[in-house]
A and B are shown apart, each in its own frame.
Chain A
Amino acid sequence: MNTTLSRSIQTIVLALIVVGLIALALGGYLTPISRVALNPLIQFQTWVSTRYHAVQNILSAPQDTARLRQRNAELEAEVSRLQAQIIELQQQLGETHILSALVEFARANPTNRYQAAAVIARDPSPFLNYVIINRGSDDGIRRGMPVVTQQGLVGRVAAVTAGAARVQLITDPGSVINVRLGASQVDAILSGQLTGEITLDMIPQDAVVQAGDLVLTSGLGGGFPPNILIGQVTGIRSRDQDIFQRATVQTVVDFSQLEIVLVITNFNPVDIGPLIPTSSAP
């Protein structure tokens, strides 16, 4: 009897304790205690888990590394191949853009016949602005033929071999071209400079020249066909004591990026040298 009673009391006490603990837990009063009790457990669990994974990695590593290295090499090769392909396509795209612009230019100027050529070298002398193109007399190129791009005048053929030609750029210090200012129809002389700039000279004092005026070939002298765009006037120097005005010109062609040019093959330059009077002539 006593034993039964004492067991019942123990059960009730245990039930009360459990209910009390549950109530305390639900009320949040056991959180600090549980945190203190669980933290070491969690840390221990983390430590065991980390070691387990490390051991697992070590055991499975040789096979994975070999496979991953192989895969990595394959992917690197693929990336290299694709990068090379991208560069090649970009080059082709650039050339296509240039060529399509040149074709449009040729269509817009149907009176001229053109021979496209690639710029393959520059003159080794830093004092000269010449380029070498990969078309020569075998392709119908002759000395004196004008060279242009879709933007404007580049220069003229100065020397020709069977498979290549040397082109004197309009920026060369020895280049002199007869030009006309678009707005005022004034004739002037355009000459290159060592610095790669070009200047206009022999502009009459009474001519009205403004920045932004277009500079075109005049055709005088027979060296170039008329009306090929060269550039724009950027600055004028006019002094009362000078006979002529001078001006600086910004070229429309970017000579540092010259890749493909067009040679006008149906233009025959006229040599007016014998007509120029010399001091020894009567």
Chain B
Amino acid sequence: MATLIAFPLLGFLTILQTTVVSQIPLLHGTADLLLLVILAWALQKRVKTAWHWCIIGALMVTLISALPFGITLMGYILATGLALSLRQRLWQVPVLAMFLLTLLGTLVTHAIDLVGLRLMGTIIPFTDALNLVTLPSALLNLLLAVPIFALIGDLANWMYPEEIEV
């Protein structure tokens, strides 16, 4: 069920990302809704489908983006791996973990995008990428991190209700 719901949700978010969010840049950076949702989902305690969401999200982005599937998938896999690792270490302060992950996730995915583009023959200066794209994107992602974490938390609680021992 949790995997099935990922298709319409992440599909809708992909449409929102490409039609609205990508048109609201800060310098040249934009927020990454799918990354934030995947990270927020992976941070939820009882969620067991983090990797499914990660792969479905990467598939959705690849359908539209000119970036190859492997690059997007690798970025999201690393970010999800970081999220699952932090979930075990920072389980008592999930919001802090979300902030930390948002920053790290943005850096990791952008670094992989840059390396991938370089391998494909598109050379983007590192400092330009950092100053004009990555840092503004990280700021936008940080601004959206808390509301998305709250919404995904509600969704996770609905999907995986807490078991009460009687």
Which residues of A line the B interface, CB within 8 A?
A: 120-128, 130, 132, 158-159, 166, 168, 173-174, 194-196
Given contacts A132-B64, A173-B122, A194-B133, contact A126 B30 (CB under 8 A): yes
Q: How many residues of B contact A (CB 8 A)?
A: 34
Whether B117 lies near A174 (C-beta < 8 A) is: yes
A172 to B26, CA, bound (A): 18
Chain B nearest CB: distance from A125 CB in Å?
5
Whether B22 lies near A122 (C-beta < 8 A) is: yes
Q: A124-B30, A124-B32 are in contact. List 8 more A-B contacts (CB 8 A).
A: A122-B23, A126-B25, A126-B28, A128-B66, A174-B121, A194-B125, A194-B133, A195-B132
The 3 closest A-B pairs by CB, nearest first: A121-B18, A174-B122, A122-B22
Residue in B66, B113, B133 whose CB lies within 8 Å of A168: B66
Given contacts A132-B64, A168-B66, A174-B122, contact A123 B128 (CB under 8 A): no
Given contacts A132-B64, A173-B117, A196-B28, contact A127 B22 (CB under 8 A): no
Given contacts A159-B66, A166-B66, A194-B133, contact A124 B117 (CB under 8 A): no
Most buried by B among A121, A126, A132, A196: A126
Whether B32 lies near A194 (C-beta < 8 A) is: no
Residue numbers in B under 8 Å from A127 (CB-CB): 67, 110, 113-114, 117, 124, 129, 133
Q: B137 near A: Cβ within 8 Å?
A: yes
Chain A nearest CB: distance from B57 CB in Å?
11
Given contacts A126-B30, A166-B66, contact A132 B114 (CB under 8 A): no
Q: List 6 A-B residue pairs with CB atoms under 8 Å apart, sorted by A's residue number.
A: A121-B18, A123-B64, A124-B17, A159-B66, A174-B117, A194-B28
Whether B125 lies near A124 (C-beta < 8 A) is: no
Give residues of chain B (109-166) contacting chain A, Cβ–Cβ below 8 Å. 110, 113-114, 117, 120-125, 128-129, 132-133, 137
Given contacts A174-B117, A194-B129, contact A126 B137 (CB under 8 A): yes
Residue numbers in A under 8 Å from B3 (CB-CB): none
Most buried by A among B23, B120, B122, B133: B122
Chain B nearest CB: distance from A171 CB in Å?
11
Chain B nearest CB: distance from A250 CB in Å?
18
Given contacts A173-B122, A174-B117, A194-B133, contact A123 B25 (CB under 8 A): no
Whether A194 lies near B14 (C-beta < 8 A) is: no
Most buried by B among A124, A194, A196: A124
Residue numbers in B under 8 Å from A125 (CB-CB): 65-67, 113
Q: B88 near A: Cβ within 8 Å?
A: no
Whether A124 lies near B18 (C-beta < 8 A) is: yes
Chain A nearest CB: distance from B21 CB in Å?
8
Whether B66 lies near A123 (C-beta < 8 A) is: yes
Chain B nearest CB: distance from A79 CB in Å?
28
Whether B132 lies near A194 (C-beta < 8 A) is: yes
